[in-house]
Amino acid sequence: MLGMVLAGGRGERLFPLTRDRSKPSVSFGGKYRIIDFVLSNFINSGIYSIYVVVQYKSQSLIEHLRAAWRLGGRIKHQFITIAPPQMRRGEVWYRGTADAVYQNLHVIRNFDPELVVVFGADHIYRMDIAQMMDYHREREADVTVAAIPVPIESAHRFGVIKVNKEGRIIGFLEKPKAPPPMPGNPKFAYASMGNYLFNRDILMEALSHDAKRHSEHDFGRTIIPELFPEGRVFAYDFSQNEIPGLKKYEERGYWRDVGSIQAYYDAHMDLLGEHPRFDLNNLEWPILSDAVNAPAARLMGGEVVDSFIGEGSIIRGAKVKRSIIGRGVVLEAGAEVEESILFDFCEVGSGCRIKRSIIDRFNLIKPGEEIGYDPERDKQRFTVNNKGVVTIPRAPTRFFY
């Protein structure tokens, strides 16, 4: 098995969090990056040979992979290697998801796997990919596409898969006005997760053919729609995936595309509460990231309710409610932080009030400042979405990320 992780996304709808980094490199959950979720799924599923395909503003992501994802190097087929645009067939950047893999066909040929696992790096979820592989082999499939059931009324926002009763794909529609329902369940439709499992020869033949013509060079728009009429292309129902350690109260088949500020914010709120929809505390299927040489968080007076507090953070008499606080954050006396996300190494002065805000790394919030309480004033200084979530970009620092 060879893993290919597509991590080149610009993440334009996540601006300004993606002003200085690619989408997979954006922090999530106080101590992780978005890419950590797909890489953790690969490692927990027993896939140890992985190429990470990067492109836009990739230095932050490269530094994170170097620090957090070193597998040792002693065993030949255990590696996580970065694959920038190769330009082996002309001076062009990756022109789409399919072209990103096509430009790296030589590494697939050299590795000579039976199966190639092509996953995106932009989503928050847990998945045992070995179960998808079992499904692929049982059906003697050429290609298997991970699919998630979504309510029929919201399916128009996704690439929708039409299947027969055996699960074989008979239609692939990009954001259709009238999505086809799942067999036997008219209230739901199958949405593509952008995760694919290919037999090696099928993948190489399809990509080589696609490279010779003008197309979008995209798996969802060009490759899969041309394979399913003749090939054995199946949909794997992600909602049937079994994850060890999953709590009874968690949302089964939790998967979120955090491609917009609101989706990113909402996914963080899903981590909170006595019964979170997505519980990060799962030792049987851990989300892995870099180790931090910092002491435990210090609470020197104040109040913390239903929140994450990162390593090395100091709370000096502040109040924190339903918030995600990163590592090395300092909250001074009298500060109030509610329903907010603070990235690493921010400092919040005394008497500050912050609500429904996302504050990127290294920001210094002056004493007495208010953010998230006056929408008109906030719009003059920061980015504010249509639901009133305030986002402040990363502050300058001598560090790159």
H or E element at residue 116: strand 115-120
User: Which residues does residue 52 pair with via DSSP β-bridges, in sequence order?
Assistant: 5, 82
388 annotated as a binding-site residue: no
56 annotated as a binding-site residue: no
Nearest to 314 by CA among 304, 305, 306, 322: 304
94 annotated as a binding-site residue: yes
Cα–Cα distance, 396 to 391 (Å, whole number)? 16
H or E element at residue 117: strand 115-120
What tokens does 184 get?
Answer: 């036997």
Dihedrals phi, psi of 35, to nearest 5 degrees: -65, -25
102 annotated as a binding-site residue: no
Q: Where are the beta strands (DSSP E) in 306-389?
A: 308-309, 314-315, 318-321, 324-325, 330-331, 336-338, 341-342, 347-348, 353-355, 357-359, 364-365, 370-371, 383-384
CB-CB contact of 148 with 130 (8 Å): no
DSSP letters of 142-169? SEEEEEEEEEGGGGGGSEEEEE-TTSBE
Dihedrals phi, psi of 307, to nearest 5 degrees: -145, 160
12 annotated as a binding-site residue: no
Specify binding-site residues for alpha-D-glucose 1-phosphate.
94, 159, 174-175, 192
Residue ranges for the known binding site are 94, 159, 174-175, 192
